[in-house]
Amino acid sequence: MSSIPKIVIVGAGYGGILTAQQLQKELKHNEATVTLINRHDYHYITTHLHMPAAGTDTIEHSRIPIAQLIDEFKVDLVKGTVKEIIPNEKKVVLEDGSLSYDYLVIGLGGEPETFGIPGMDQFALTIRSINSVRLIREHIEYQLALYKNDGKPGRLNFVVGGAGFSGIEFVAELADRLPQLAKAYDIDFNRIQIINVEAAPTALPGFDPELVEYAMDVLKRKGVNFRIGVPVKECLQDGVIVGEGEKIEACTVVWTGGIRGNGLIEKAGFEVMRGRVKIDDFLRAPGHDDIFIIGDSSLMFNPEGRPYPPTAQIAMQQGVLCAKNLAATLRKKELHKFVFSNKGTVASLGKGEAVAVVGKRKIKGWVAAQLKKIVDLRYLFIIGGIPLVLKKGRFF
C-alpha cells in the first residue's frame, strides 16, 4: 500500500482550480497525490454568467475544459458528482463510487439562498452554473415566442428578485439584450418590462452611495424599473407577490437574492451559518486539521468583525494559500494566516458602462467598463496564461 498522502479537492471553481494549480507548483515529486473532483469536465467563469444568461455572450466564453488548466501528470481529474462527505471516515462519496483522502479541500461553491420564500425553489430561475443560465437564456426567448402566439402580457415582464451585484449585472444585460430580441420577435420594446425588486432601502446595499445612484440612473435610462425597499414574499408560476401583497405578473422570475453554502457541508455534520463553515485563520474547518474549506462555502470575518462577502476574489486568494498551507502541513512547517488583499470591486452595467471602487478611488462609465474587462482578462491570465486570454478573452 502506498504511503504517499492523498489530497482530494472537491469542486473546480475559483477556489478549487487555484488550489490545484498552486499545489502543482508547491509539491515535490511523490510528496502527495492530488485528485480534483468536479461535476463537469469544465471550469466555469461564474463572474461572467449574467451575460450568457441574458444572451449577450456565448456560453463558450464562460467555460474552459479543466484538462487545459491542470497538468494531468500532477493532478488526477475525476469527473463526478459528490453526494456525501464523511469526515470521520475520511471519505468522499460520489454518485458512482467513493474516494478516501488524507487531506480534503472543499471548494464546492454556494447555492441560491431563498430564505424559505414560498415557491422560490420551484418557480424561480437562478444564475449559478452553465446549465442554469442555458435555461434562463432559452426561457426568455421562449416567452417572447409564446407571447406572439397567446398574447399573455406576463410573458413580457421579466422580474429579477434582489438588486445585489448579481441582480444589477443581470438586469443590465437584460436591458441590452431585450431590445434586440423585441425587434427579432416583432414586439414593441415599450411593452416589455424589466423589474428589479430589492428588499433593502437601496440597490447594491453597502456599496458607495454615489456609485449606486449612478448605476441606477444608467439602468433606468436603459429601461429597468426598480422597486426598492420592497421584499419579494412569494414566487408563483405566473409572477411574484411583493410588499404588502401586490402581485406582479411575470412568466420569468430570476432570483438573485443571495447565496448560502453548499448543502453537502451541513449534511457532513459541520456547524454552519447560512450553510457556510466558520473556518480558522489557516482555512481549516474547526476541529478538522485535515479539512480545508474555501470559497463560498466558507465564512471568515474581516478585522472589523464583519463577514467577508463570498466573492471570486477571496476564493482565489484562499485557493493559493490553501495549497501553501497543505504543503506546509505535509512538511510539518508553520502554516500562514489568511490575509485578504482587496483589489477593489467592479460591477458591470452592461455594454460600455460599469461602476468601480479601487482603493479610495471611485470610477464610473466607460473607464470602469474597461477595468471590468481587465479584471476578467487578468483571471484568464492567472489560470491559463496568454493562450487562454487569446482564446476566451473578451476585448470589445
Supply the minimum distance, in Å, between the C-beta of residue 186 and ligand NAD: 33
C-beta closer to ligand NAD: residue 111 or 290:
111
- Kindly indicate which of the ranges 34-42, 156-164, 196-204, 210-218 contains the residues binding ligand FAD, using the contact rule CB under 6 A: 34-42
Does 119 engage in binding with ligand NAD (CB under 6 A)?
Answer: no
Supply the angle between the helices 165-184 and 130-150 in degrees, to the nearest 10: 40
Q: How far apart are CA 217 and CA 349, in angstroms?
A: 11
DSSP 8-state class, residue 124: -
- Which does residue 109 bind out of ligand NAD, ligand FAD, none, counting CB within 5 to 8 angstroms by kind? ligand FAD
264: Cβ contacts below 8 Å, ≥ 6 apart: 82, 83, 84, 85, 108
Phi first, then psi, for residue 319 (nearest 5°) are: -60, -45
Pick one of 156, 163, 192, 291: the residue that binds ligand NAD (CB under 6 A).
Answer: 163
Least distance from C-beta 370 to ligand FAD, angstroms? 15
Taking the least distance from each CB to ligand NAD, the nearer of 127 and 144 is 127
Take residue 128 and report the three cell numbers written for it: 449559478
Short-list 13, 55, 45, CA closest to 380: 45
Q: Name which of 40 and 362 has its Cβ closer to ligand FAD.
A: 40
- The single residue among 81, 98, 202, 225 that binds ligand FAD, judged by CB under 6 A, is 81
Is the Cβ of residue 156 or residue 254 nearer to ligand FAD in the bound state?
Answer: 254
Q: For residue 169, indicate whether it is catalytic.
A: yes
Among ligand FAD, ligand NAD, none, the one that 38 touches (CB under a kind-dependent 5 to 8 A) is ligand FAD
Supply the minimum distance, in Å, between the C-beta of residue 347 and ligand FAD.
Answer: 7
Exactly one of 26, 72, 89, 169 is catalytic; name it: 169
Q: Which CB sits closer to ligand FAD, 15 or 119?
A: 15
Q: Which does 205 bind (CB under 5 to 8 A by kind): ligand FAD, ligand NAD, none?
A: ligand NAD
Across-strand partners of 275?
none
Closest separation in Å from C-beta 209 to ligand NAD: 14
Distance CA(91)–CA(102), nearest Å, equals 9
- Contact present, 351 and 169 (Cβ < 8 Å): no
Q: How many C-beta atoms surround the C-beta of residue 281 within 10 A?
A: 11
Beta strand pairing status for 42-44 and 63-65?
A: antiparallel
β-pair partners for 106: 10, 293
Residue 112 engages ligand FAD in binding (rule: CB under 6 A): no
Among 254, 277, 316, 347, binds ligand NAD (CB under 6 A): 347
Q: Does 370 bind ligand FAD (CB under 6 A)?
A: no
For 99-120, the three-class secondary structure string (H helix, E strand, C coil) is EECCEEEECCCEEECCCCCCCH
Burial code (b: 16+ CB inside 10 Å, e: under 16) for 119-137 equals bbeebbbbbbbbebbeebb
Rg (CA), the chain: 22
Side-chain half-sphere exposure of 353, counting CA atoms within 13 A: 21
195-224: contacts with ligand NAD (CB under 6 A): 197-200, 205
Neighbour order of strands in the sheet with 33-38: 75-79, 33-38, 6-10, 103-106, 288-293, 284-285
| 243 near ligand NAD (CB under 6 A) | no
Considering the complex, what minimum distance in angstroms separates the CB of residue 199 from ligand FAD?
A: 18
**Quick one: what does residue 167 bind among ligand NAD, ligand FAD, none, with the CB cut-off 5 to 8 Å set by partner type?**
ligand NAD
Please tell me whether residue 108 binds ligand NAD under the rule CB under 6 A.
no
Active-site amino acid positions: 169
Q: Residues interacting with ligand NAD, by CB under 6 A? A: 115, 117, 161-167, 169, 197-200, 205, 231-232, 256-259, 309-311, 345-347
Q: Residues interacting with ligand FAD, by CB under 6 A? A: 11-16, 37-40, 46-47, 49-50, 81-82, 107-109, 127, 166, 169, 262, 264, 295-296, 310-313, 315
